Amino acid sequence: MTPKRASICVSCVLAAMLIAHTCSATTGVVLYEKGFAVVAVDGRVNQVGGVISGHTTECKLDMANSMVAIAAGLAKQEDVFNAREILRQAMQQARTVEEAADFAQRQIQRKFPAAVEAFRKNNPDRANDASNLGLQFVIAGLDDAGTVHVARCFISESKAPQVDNATGSDDHVGVAVIGESNAVDRDLDRLHNTNGWEGKGNPTDLEKMARRFIALEILEAPHRVGTPLAVVLLDRNGVHGVEDGACKAAP
């Protein structure tokens, strides 16, 4: 199998470090083929003021209507903006992944300027950094025919939204990564150059690959990305928890 790579956005790395109060310095990975997908995400949430002062854990997977979503970057500002709530609502109301992504994008675009303004207010010494703030999200799910669909979007205060929609195929592994991804990018290049994707065409192999990618990011940026991992499998039978991570106690 060879990887079919979507363009990977890394513009929210600064955003992941600068959000007031708390931030989800997320690495999220979706690996998929025609009939199944593996979704994995780290569980670290940093306590942020002028510097990162500590961390907690949080479930970063949201599931509804046989879809799974992850958000990274400026995903939450208290009493102003919560991208995860928007994503949950979008998945609950939509019939398809594409409809959910479109709904979420429109809602986030409408509310995102207020989130950036709140960031500026809470971080007056870093007002110039606000131009780097962005939000990425990815939604994965299956249609009625059992085909995986993945939609990813990057929204920035200073740039037009970038939408990246793709469908896996029988002879290609689809790859969608959000958040911290420098180490993943390098490993994807290595795998491509060495035919390291050969034979990676079943859920078990793609689960191992997804775990490897997040582990590499933890080694690369341990102060921003960390355990516990949450991993789920999407197939014709719905969403299956492979490893709960921080989602074990989530409602």
State the pLDDT at residue 63.
Answer: 92
Measure the CA–CA gap between 20 and 76, rounded to whole angstroms: 9
Coil, strand or helix at 185:
helix
Per-residue pLDDT of 131-188, as tens digits, reads: 557 889 999 999 999 999 999 998 876 666 666 655 554 557 889 999 888 999 999 8
pTM of the predicted structure, to 2 decimals? 0.82
Which DSSP state fits 43? Answer: -
Q: Is the pLDDT of residue 75 over 60?
A: yes
CA nearest to 74, candidates 31, 3, 144, 20? 20
Report yes or no: 63 and 105 within 8 Å, Cβ to Cβ: no
Strand 172-179, strand 230-235: pairing: unpaired
CA nearest to 6, candidates 141, 206, 156, 173? 173
**236 or 75: whose pLDDT is higher?**
236
3-state helix, strand, coil in the chain (%, to 5): 35, 35, 30
Q: Band the pLDDT of 199: cuts 50, 70, 90.
A: low
Measure the CA–CA gap between 77 and 206, rounded to whole angstroms: 34
Per the prediction, the chain carries an average pLDDT of 78
Residue ranges and CATH numbers for the domains of the chain are: 2-247 (3.60.20.10)
